[in-house]
Amino acid sequence: MLEDLGQQALINIISHVFFIGIAFFALQALNFEKLLRANRVFQARLLYILLTIVIGSVASNFFLDYLNWSRQLQLLF
């Protein structure tokens, strides 16, 4: 039982880091300079990091929910 929780925690951590990395890679395709004010470099970087974390976490949670639901389908029968 505890071993399953440890494995689930490891899968969650790997999934979040993976999807945050993908979100970071995908956000590099956007040109944020046109949207931001001049001389606000720190705020722009902070916004970029927060957007990356939010998008990556949402995508990871969707993936993990889908994985858990597919595992629970066997309990239906």
Instruction: Give the pTM.
Output: 0.84
| Residue 32: closest CA among 49, 14, 44 | 44
Q: How many helices (H) and strands (E) does the chain have?
A: 2, 0
- Evaluate the CA torsion angle 40, 46, 51, 52 in order and state its sign: positive
- Confidence check: pLDDT of 20 > 90: yes
Cα(20)–Cα(51) distance, rounded to whole angstroms? Answer: 10
Confidence of residue 76 (pLDDT cuts 50, 70, 90): confident
Is the distance from CB of 23 to CB of 55 less than 8 angstroms? yes
